[in-house]
Amino acid sequence: MSSFLHAYGFSSTQWILLALSGLLIGMSKTGLSGVGLMVVPILANAFGGRASVGLLLPILIFADLFAVSWYNRHAQWKHIFRLLPWALSGIIVATLVGKSISDIAFNRLLAGLVSGGIAILVWRDLNSDRFRVPESRIFAAGLGLLGGFTTMIGNAAGPVMALYLLSMRLPKNSYIGTGAWYFLIINLSKVPLHIWSWRTITFNSFQLDLLMLPAIATGALLGIWLVGLLPEKIYRIIVIATTLLSALLLF
């Protein structure tokens, strides 16, 4: 067992954190969306900021496929088409920025984006009674650009997409289905950039991601169970606190 764990040159701790990340991503796609932010700093601290983003992307795609298979018929495509051109532009900008900065600067940028995402979640919770977001095309373009940038740099566009979908006042199933299709398309579009520009997805890294499929599936089932078990407020406090602590370690 030990020789298998070290076959890729990873420590036992790194393997545990990778499996934990697959578990958390699976949970995030079955209702515990906030838990997905925890994975970004966990993997960045274990494998380095730039490498971790490429390692995480296929795991996200596998989880997106699970979500799309359950909610595909509920997607509202007009919102996806409204955001996609701007999101793709943001991805291109982020690709150029991420390729030209050092690993230390990349980690700090990643930490800032994750911390910003947490701030958005906290602000939205504290102002839920009077939460209103403009519905103009400029608003959609701004969030699309920001979402594309954050998803390329750190796979951390969840809070940005949540702001947009909440502003559209979508029913629950439409909210999940629209987000599932959006992220599947966006994440697939990033794969060539990670392979040929950043070179953060390789054959070996993809093999590692395939090994995480059982963890992802287990996380999806566990997420369904936990949604009905944990009080929402207690869950969100735990997730926000642990994610903020992990993000601070990136600095």
The predicted structure's pLDDT at residue 91:
93
Write out the chain's pLDDT in tens, 251 residues.
Answer: 334 345 567 788 888 888 999 998 988 777 666 677 778 888 888 888 778 888 899 999 998 888 888 777 778 888 899 899 999 999 999 888 887 777 677 767 767 776 776 676 677 667 766 655 555 677 788 888 888 888 888 777 777 777 677 667 777 678 778 888 999 999 999 999 889 988 889 888 898 899 999 999 998 888 778 766 777 567 667 666 656 665 665 55
Q: Which two tokens stand for residue 160?
A: 């940005």
The predicted structure's pLDDT at residue 2:
38
Q: 61, 71, 86: which is closest to 164 by C-alpha?
A: 86
Q: Show Cβ contacts of residue 209 under 8 Å, excluding neighbours closer than 6 positions.
A: 55, 58, 59, 62
The predicted structure's pLDDT at residue 126:
72
The residue with tokens 């070290």 is 6
- The Cβ-side half-sphere exposure at 151, using a 13 Å CA radius, reads 33
What does the H/E/C string look like for the chain?
CHHHHCCCCCCHHHHHHHHHHHHHHHHHCCCCHHHHHHHHHHHHHHHCHHHHHHHHHHHHHHHHHHHHHHHHHHCCHHHHHHHHHHHHHHHHHHHHHHHHCCHHHHHHHHHHHHHHHHHHHHHHHHCHHHCCCCCCHHHHHHHHHHHHHHHHHHCCCHHHHHHHHHHCCCCHHHHHHHHHHHHHHHHHHHHHHHHHCCCCCCHHHHHHHHHCHHHHHHHHHHHHHHHCCCCHHHHHHHHHHHHHHHHHHCC
Contact between 233 and 241 (Cβ < 8 Å): no
Cα–Cα distance measured from residue 90 to residue 105, given in angstroms and rounded to the nearest whole number: 19
Q: Which two tokens stand for residue 156?
A: 């951390």
By CB neighbour count within 10 A (0-12 exposed, 13-18 middle, 19+ buried), where does 211 fall?
Answer: middle
Cα–Cα distance measured from residue 178 to residue 240, given in angstroms and rounded to the nearest whole number: 24
The predicted structure's pLDDT at residue 3:
41
The predicted structure's pLDDT at residue 236:
61
Cα–Cα distance measured from residue 16 to residue 22, given in angstroms and rounded to the nearest whole number: 10
Cα–Cα distance measured from residue 189 to residue 56, given in angstroms and rounded to the nearest whole number: 14
Q: 234, 174, 171: which is closest to 34 by C-alpha?
A: 234
The predicted structure's pLDDT at residue 1:
34
